[in-house]
Chains A and B, each alone.
Chain A
Amino acid sequence: MPEPVLSIRSLAVTFPGADAPLRAVRGVDLDVHEGEVLGIVGESGSGKSVTALAAAALLPESAQVSGTITLAGQSVLGAPADTLRRMRGNDIGVVFQDPSTTLNPLLPIGRQITEGEIAHGRLSQRDAPARAVALLCEVDIADPSSRASQYPHQFSGGMRQRAVIAMAMAGRPRLIIADEPTTALDVTVQAQVLDLLARRQKETGAAVVLITHDLGVVAEVAHRVAVMYAGRIVETGTVREIFSHPRHPYTAALLRSAPRIDATGGRLDPIPGQPPNPGALPPGCSFRPRCAIGGDRALCAEQEPPLRPLAPGRAAACHFADEVRPPAQAASVAAQPAEPEPTRAAAPLLEVENLVVHFPIRAGLLRRVVRTVRAVDGVSLRLAAGETLGLVGESGCGKTTTGRTIMGLVPATAGRVVFDGKAISGLDRMALRPVRRRMQYVFQDPYSSLNPMLNVGDAVAEPLRIHGLYDEMGGARWIAQLFDVVGLPASAAHRLPREFSGGQKQRIGIARALALKPKLLILDEPVASLDVSIQAQIVNLLQDLQRELGLAYLFIAHDLSIVKHVSDRVAVMYLGRIVEESDKRTLYDAPTHPYTQALLSAVPAPDVSEAAGRRRIILEGEIPNPAAPPPGCHFHPRCFRASALCVREAPNFARHGDSETRVACHHAGPLEPDAPLRHAMGAAP
């Protein structure tokens, strides 16, 4: 076997912590070979990014690092700064998570992607502009010569990440570290970027370390997988082995807990508890408190299991690796009979008709309206009591604005909102008050949606006080009950938000929304910022609450798998309009709108056998600017079925044949197995 490009032995990284040192990485061994893609999977705080950053010697100075890291035959730890500098860009390139912050906003893109090669003396200042154009060309940026002189804010998110990839690969490094490279991107753009990353990896033969929390992305791209938990690798193997026969209970539990787009209903199987604090690890096996098989065994409590080889290239750190159940089997155990269809009340609880929300852009001395952002451009929805409607779409499609407008947080430009038999659009604040009692909002980011200075009991009680109902509804007793309902101890009420984890904060957000006993919850990406294992806990909680309290949910999300899991019906939004709406099963099994079809095919599924056989639709381009939407059908510039008619005329949102589905497409219909999937009308603008 040839020398690995990257070889890490006994890596340990410790950061100084407030109370105890934070042991972020505790003894990691790994090898990555030329042409290989190693996926490192783990939840936040598992040490996956720290491990990778250590390889590039990019950790902050406060980190205490021990062990050995050999990159392209050279030792990284203890190497002089000059050597490290030469290795970066030459031997190793890094693609970071958030392309909106990884580029310097004040320098042109072209300059940023070439300055590495200039610094290494491989490129002259004179040749740099031409080189920048060539590099942008390699990552499929249209019109590279004018793009090279533009600044990051003139690039879309996906284009920025392409530029970052071009930058990381400019020096043809032997190792690429991609740290959550698509987490900040939309699913159709994620598909493009993963495609590009895989292509460039093949072209350059570089080794890649792909760090991600998304099992689907790993299944799609990686050859080999290392699963990390609490600072250690707990399992390694080929992608196929890991996904079909996990040998560590954490891997198995992770696979079980994620909702899958190819699964039907049932209940999620979350991992109980939460990842341990790297400053206070439990004794023995650090997964024991959450483990389904170790549980109360003495051995697990006493000894941290070493990473034991099970077969060539296969290892697991579990005392009882033989007892781990594969996920398929587990799924059949966990699956429950499909839930009964919700009984539809005669009149819907919420009815939205032709909702329009336009935001004017003003400019000039007189603040004239120069353009209009058409955030929501004619949306119609119906939601019955006790039902969940999933509203799904990519960023900028208007799904959040729709939710906020229904809630009355944003004024509607036109259209009607009828809630509980009463038209509420255009009501003033006072008139909206009693309506708001029955309709509550749960925000995406549990970290910033709670006032840090207010103890969480008061935060939950606040809606009651605002409506003057605190005593009427039972005061402290009701608050304690609410905490119990969302699975938190009543004693938690006196603590401040910072003492809670993300999942717990979201429970508090839900308790606050439930305080007034609403009939409808508008859930705006309620689990998007949570780890996979925690997501499942919150999703289950929401489903239990819905059953017990008969709540209706408007579930706004970009994650198609979760939307499928929780919804009765699903509406797909694109650039301010609903393009397709149907009951869940019809929409996911027989989508008729090309955008829905592309969206569904772009979701990476955590299943290797499927990933291998599936036909992907990779849409070109990104969602256009809602201030200047394309004429006709908004989707036509990216559509693989677009015709001249689509450019001329916007399609009506109407029933498709005699099915449940309503769709807005001139060419709606099932996906033909051999139809061309690339855009038929030339490159997207």
Chain B
Amino acid sequence: MIAFVLRRLAQLLPVLLGASALIFAMMYAVPGGPVGVLVGENATAEQIEAVTKQFGLDRPIIVQYGDWLLRALGGDLGLSLHSREPVLKLITERLPATLQLAALATVIGLALGIPIALGSALAQGSWLDRALSGWSALALGVPTFWVGILLILLFAVELRLLPAASGYVPFWSDPVQAVRNTILPALTLGLYVSGIFARFLRGSLIGELNSDYVRTARSKGLKERTIVVRHVMRNALLPFITIVGIALAGFIGGTVVTESVFTYPGLGRLVIQAISTRDYPLIQGAILVILLIYVLINLAVDVLYVYIDPRIDFQ
């Protein structure tokens, strides 16, 4: 299995390399180029020359890229233009908060989505199926900022159970406070993906329920429960894992709206701040890290596939 992971990583190298080149090239695409980014709009010719020298911007681009890549691999993503702090430090401060939110949101999405999908697939066409499918449509259709505001109004303003503005408390330092702080944004995102999960899994389950091997299992006299748990679920989960992986990856850096509603200190808001202040080194670094996490999640999905499906082996 380790060989499989290494091989898959090696296969991803060209992807990462290409992406990093694009991210690097971004600096040259912005107005004024990399020098303009560093010196600002009203710089004198001497300033420009000094900065060009100082940062080696007069070297060939390929050399600059190689240099940039090597330093990035060593963890040096440069300094934020805005705060003058190391980009890596800014990102790693926010990353745990984002991961905690993403994980909790995915768990909530699964906890809601799987039962909904099972309920509607097993009672296909019934009023329950229609009601649950309606719920999925609602979860997908209502904008997350609106759900977030409703949740704040209910739990923070009316019931006064939870904080309206969420801070980041690491789960391992204080689980109760961590959940109290993360639960509302996680619920907002979790409700949304539960709609996606339920829809997708329902279709997958119905497809499997109508397949020949289920009829075979019934002909053996198995209990319907056994058939669903042992035969149907495993098969239906295969394509579903991919969807969960995509959703989880989407939560890394893609939850700006929800983070803003709850003033949650996640990666998404950091990126937005970086974009609005034209803090290019920070944007580059954030994109690079998000990309890396995407790739790792996809790798994890591939490994899970191999574990569940005997037809695929570690080759």
Number of interface residues of A (CB under 8 A): 34
Judge whether B220 and A153 touch: CB under 8 Å: no
Contacts of B84 in A (CB 8 A): none
* Interface residue stretch chosen among B29-37, B182-190, B242-250, B303-311: B303-311
**Complex CA–CA separation, A237 to B92 (angstroms):** 82
Contacts of A365 in B (CB 8 A): 7, 10-11
User: Is A552 engaged at the interface, CB distance under 8 Å to the other chain?
Assistant: no
Contacts of A94 in B (CB 8 A): 216, 219
Identity of the chain B residue whose Cβ is nearest the Cβ of A177 in the assembled complex: B219
Candidates B7, B235, B315; contact of A106 at CB < 8 Å:
B235
Judge whether A101 and B221 touch: CB under 8 Å: no
Judge whether A120 and B221 touch: CB under 8 Å: yes
User: Is A85 engaged at the interface, CB distance under 8 Å to the other chain?
Assistant: yes
Contacts of A620 in B (CB 8 A): none
Candidates A88, A101, A168, A363; contact of B213 at CB < 8 Å:
A101
User: Is A14 engaged at the interface, CB distance under 8 Å to the other chain?
Assistant: no
Judge whether A88 and B231 touch: CB under 8 Å: no
Interface class of chain B by DSSP: helix
Identity of the chain B residue whose Cβ is nearest the Cβ of A113 in the assembled complex: B220
Judge whether A85 and B215 touch: CB under 8 Å: no
User: Is B21 engaged at the interface, CB distance under 8 Å to the other chain?
Assistant: no
**Complex CA–CA separation, A650 to B235 (angstroms):** 45
- Residues of A82-108 whose CB lies within 8 A of B: 85-90, 92-94, 96, 98, 101-107
- Residues of B258-315 whose CB lies within 8 A of A: 308-311, 315
Judge whether A103 and B221 touch: CB under 8 Å: no
* Chain B 213-234: CB-based contact to A (< 8 A → 1; otherwise 0): 1011111111110100011001
Contacts of A56 in B (CB 8 A): 219
Judge whether B221 and A87 touch: CB under 8 Å: yes
Contacts of B218 in A (CB 8 A): 58, 88
Nearest-CB distance from A119 to chain B (Å)? 5
Judge whether B212 and A101 touch: CB under 8 Å: yes
Query: Given that A96-B212, A101-B213, A105-B311 are contacting pairs, would A116 and B221 also be in contact in the complex, using a CB cutoff of 8 Å?
Result: yes
Candidates A93, A104, A120, A363; contact of B217 at CB < 8 Å:
A104
**Complex CA–CA separation, A89 to B219 (angstroms):** 7
Judge whether A119 and B219 touch: CB under 8 Å: no
Candidates A101, A106, A107, A116; contact of B220 at CB < 8 Å:
A116
**Complex CA–CA separation, A89 to B223 (angstroms):** 12
Nearest-CB distance from B231 to chain A (Å)? 5
- Residues of A161-178 whose CB lies within 8 A of B: 164, 167-168, 171
Identity of the chain A residue whose Cβ is nearest the Cβ of B124 in the assembled complex: A61
**Complex CA–CA separation, A164 to B224 (angstroms):** 20
Contacts of A85 in B (CB 8 A): 221-223
Contacts of B7 in A (CB 8 A): 364-365
Judge whether A168 and B310 touch: CB under 8 Å: no
Nearest-CB distance from A247 to chain B (Å)? 34
Nearest-CB distance from A105 to chain B (Å)? 6
Candidates A86, A87, A105, A119; contact of B226 at CB < 8 Å:
A119
Most A CB contacts (10 A, CB to CB) among B221, B235, B309 go to: B221
Judge whether B219 and A168 touch: CB under 8 Å: yes
User: Is A115 engaged at the interface, CB distance under 8 Å to the other chain?
Assistant: yes
User: Is A320 engaged at the interface, CB distance under 8 Å to the other chain?
Assistant: no
Contacts of A171 in B (CB 8 A): 221
User: Is A151 engaged at the interface, CB distance under 8 Å to the other chain?
Assistant: yes
Candidates B223, B224, B231, B308; contact of A104 at CB < 8 Å:
B231
Nearest-CB distance from A84 to chain B (Å)? 8
Closest 10 CB pairs of A and B: A116-B220, A89-B221, A88-B221, A101-B212, A94-B219, A151-B310, A104-B213, A102-B216, A102-B212, A89-B220
13 cross-chain CB contacts under 8 A = A58-B215, A88-B218, A88-B220, A93-B220, A102-B213, A104-B216, A104-B217, A104-B235, A105-B213, A107-B234, A115-B230, A119-B226, A164-B216
Q: Which positions in A face B, CB cutoff 8 Å?
A: 56, 58, 81, 85-90, 92-94, 96, 98, 101-107, 115-116, 119-120, 151, 153, 164, 167-168, 171, 363-365
